[in-house]
Amino acid sequence: MYHDFVNELYAYLRLRLSDEFMIKDITQEVFLAIWKNARQFSGHSSVAAWVFSIARNKMMDKLRARYKRQEVLLDENQDDSSIMKRDFTEQIVEDIGIDIALDSLEPIYKELTYLVLIQGLSIKK
């Protein structure tokens, strides 16, 4: 399982995040969650869809936690809060916007986007 998905999972996260440590941390958490919850896989979707939904959830959890930590730091340092909050908020909005846009696609278009952007396949007209 690990070897089947690790490269695609890394690419998926790399498209959305720039923090290499966070990408590796999320990757580890995803495979741990797969190992712990494999019996809960219902088979209603593909294994890949299940893996990437876990990855998306783990990524969003990390971003929310980072945002909350950032808010605490901003509260402690009021002088720079407007600049730091604006920059961080813009990044969160962008990250969430990409996920919302991908989630709004019909399943076939999600799969095509995955195949083109993550797998590197080309589209034949």
Give the helix/strand (H/E) hosting 18: none
Q: Of 125, 122, 115, nearest to 11 (Cα)? A: 115
What pLDDT is recorded for position 28?
92
pLDDT in tens, the chain (125 residues): 667 778 888 888 888 888 888 899 999 999 999 888 878 877 777 888 888 888 888 988 888 887 776 666 665 565 554 555 455 666 666 666 666 777 777 877 777 776 676 666 677 65
pLDDT at residue number 89: 60
* CA pair distance 102, 91, nearest whole angstrom: 17
- C-alpha distances (whole Å) from 114 to each of 46, 56, 69, 111, 121 are 13, 13, 31, 5, 9
The H-or-E segment that residue 124 falls in is: none
Residue 81 confidence (pLDDT):
47
The H or E element containing residue 104 is: none
